[in-house]
Structure 1
Amino acid sequence: MKYLFENIQTVSELIHAREKTILLTDFDGTLTPIRKHPDLAALSEEIRQILIKFTQDKAIFLGIITGRSLKQIKKLVNIQDVLYVGNHGIEMEGPGIRSTCPEAKKARSTLWHIYMKLFKSLRHIEGIYVEDKGLSISLHYRAVKKRGDVEQVSRTLHAITKPFLERNMILLSEGKMVYEIRPPVKWNKATAIQWLLTDYFPLKFNEDVLIIYLGDD
């Protein structure tokens, strides 16, 4: 893996050599620092102005790909002419596209049931945050201080999700001090980018384009 700021001169030369650059970026941990609570994340004015300049440059196309819900990421960024990809690719909205995975919608009632069970079972633990993102659930334990509580969170989560996992009704993954519960569909950040490269961008751009992705995972 090559790191952007260690190769910035090479990247700059590549950008100026192409007619079009597609810049895709994550949000948490990339455009903003990771916070103890996801509601504390905010886009700085400096970064906001940089992103606005990107959208005003006809040679640059900007997309933000995140695990946050589409509604939430649009509110946090609040910039026009940006491709927003939420819930790890399940939801997309931007120039020429507005899409939600239909299979994911079918899992909504199951996810709500799991959310309520997790909330009721873990609400006594200080620092825990069960986040309902509509078409997925995030279980944040970054602010949980006691090791015993962290272990209880893990045990409770796996006990609640086990029957749904066994019936292939959900997917469970772990990130940076967060568990993600998602519908049993193919979408994640990697598959979302792959779909954009094969099915979305070729319809919009005929030029030889440079594609850059910024992210912490």
Structure 2
Amino acid sequence: MTECIRFAVVAILLSLTVIVNCSEEESTGDMSKRVVPTINKAEEFEQKLPGFLNSNKTLCVLLDYDGTLAALCDNPNNTVMDPELEKNLHCLAKNPKVFMAVISGRGLKDVEGKVGIKNITYAGNHGIEIQSPDGSRQDYQLPANVQKSYKSLVDELNKKLNKNGAWVEDKKVSLTYHYRDTASELVEQQKQEAIEIIKRHGFSANQAHAAIEAKPPVNWNKGEAALLILKNNFGNDWQSKTSVVFAGDDTTDEDAMRSLQGIGKSFRVATDPKIETYADFRLPRQELVHDLIRWLCNHSCQS
């Protein structure tokens, strides 16, 4: 009889383990990259997202800048937003039922100057720098040894690879090595050498559009920044109070898309129809971001 009881207890415990594991899987959802549906025209936002914009919740619009709000340029200093898009962004920012943040790989003051909208949250350097609408800052503090390594990294890249049209964009805590203007026969060699130098200094090297981004070796990214921004503004129960939209075009934006997967709706700007992403939808053209913002603006004005 004792053996039967022991067997029954073990069976019950195993059953409970299975139930817990299944619950965990259901709560976390499918956190893998995959090929996602494409939105090709303006009217498809409403068609494919019926009822998502709940008027009882605050609409939180989180956006990347380069390649998302502004088309990519050979020189990042030359990027500008489309006038109509800028107008609709201002419309959203003024709406008391809308919260807006721009989370960029650029330095904070750089992206703030490019967007130029007051009373919104800005995050620069992939979320390491965060500035609230009132001007207060909540930056992620890099360890002293990482700051020292960063200075050495910038110096070495400038000394060895600031040539043939390539240059180093120093953003004080992270950098971007641009090679868009480098002759095609020289690109691969210089790119690989840049990656080697970046990794040797302990930084991660991420492929961007005709560039390599060097990020510090810390557990912080656009996803962590997005969650912190939402928590700071709406509390620990922000999910029940908000409808979150995120749009981005680059590999670093995938961190935010992953963090928001199953919670909000995110959009990856990408021409590749087979790209795998954590986003919910693919936008094959940057101009479709204009349609997304217009749709959000029109809905928020009606609610």
TM-score, normalisation: structure 2: 0.63
Residue 55 of structure 1 deviates from its aligned partner by: 1.0
What are the superposed Cα offsets for residues 74-120 of structure 1, whole Å, 9 maximum, x if unpaired? 11112111110110110000236511111266533321221121112
- Structure 2, unmatched stretches of 5+, are 1-35, 251-303
1:137 equivalent in structure 2: 175
Q: Is the 8 A contact 1:15 1:21 kept in 2?
A: yes
What is the correspondence of 1:1-217 to structure 2 with a 5 Å cutoff? 1-3=36-38, 5=42, 7-10=44-47, 11=49, 13-95=51-133, 97-103=136-142, 107-125=146-164, 127-147=165-185, 149-165=186-202, 170-202=203-235, 208-217=241-250
- Decide whether the 8 Å contact of 2:161 with 2:194 is kept in 1: no
The AA in structure 1 aligned to 2:211 is V
The answer to whether the Cα contact below 8 Å between 2:231 and 2:238 also exists between their aligned partners in 1 is no
Identity value in percent? 27
Are the counterparts in 2 of residues 104 and 183 from structure 1 also a CA contact under 8 Å?
Answer: no
Give, in whole Å, the separation in 2 of the partners of 1:209 and 1:69.
Answer: 27
Q: 1:90 to 1:207 in 2, by over 3 A?
A: same
Native 8 Å contact 2:204 2:217 kept in 1: yes
**How many Å separate the matches in 1 of 2:38 and 2:131?**
29
- Tell me if structure 1 keeps the 8 A contact 2:54–2:243: no
Query: 2:59 is paired with a residue of what secondary structure?
Result: strand
Letter in 1 for 2:126: H
Does the Cα contact within 8 Å between 1:90 and 1:104 map onto a contact in 2?
no
Distance in 1, Cα, partners of 2:237 & 2:167 = 40
For 2:180, the aligned partner's letter is R
Aligned 8 A contact 2:198 2:204 in 1: no
Moved beyond 6 Å, runs of 4+? 203-207
For 2:259, the equivalent position in structure 1 comes to none
Determine the C-alpha separation between the residues in 2 that align with 1:2 and 1:201: 30
Aligned length: 211
Q: CA RMSD in A?
A: 2.5
- The code of the aligned residue for 1:113 comes to S
Letter of the 1:100 counterpart? D
- Check whether the contact 1:24–1:64 (CA below 8 A) recurs between aligned residues: yes
SS of residue in 1 equivalent to 2:68: coil
State how far apart, in whole Å, the 1-side matches of 2:52 and 2:131 are: 28
Shift of 1:65: 0.8
Determine which structure has the larger strand proportion and give its number. Answer: 1
Are 1:105 and 1:135, in contact at CA under 8 Å, matched by a contact in 2? Answer: no
Cα deviation 1:10-52 (Å, max 9, x = unaligned): 5474325433100111101110001111111122322221111
Structure 1 stretch 105-114 or stretch 67-76: which is displaced more? 105-114
- The structure number with the bigger radius of gyration is 2
Return the alpha-carbon distance in structure 2 between the equivalents of residues 58 and 200 of structure 1. Answer: 13
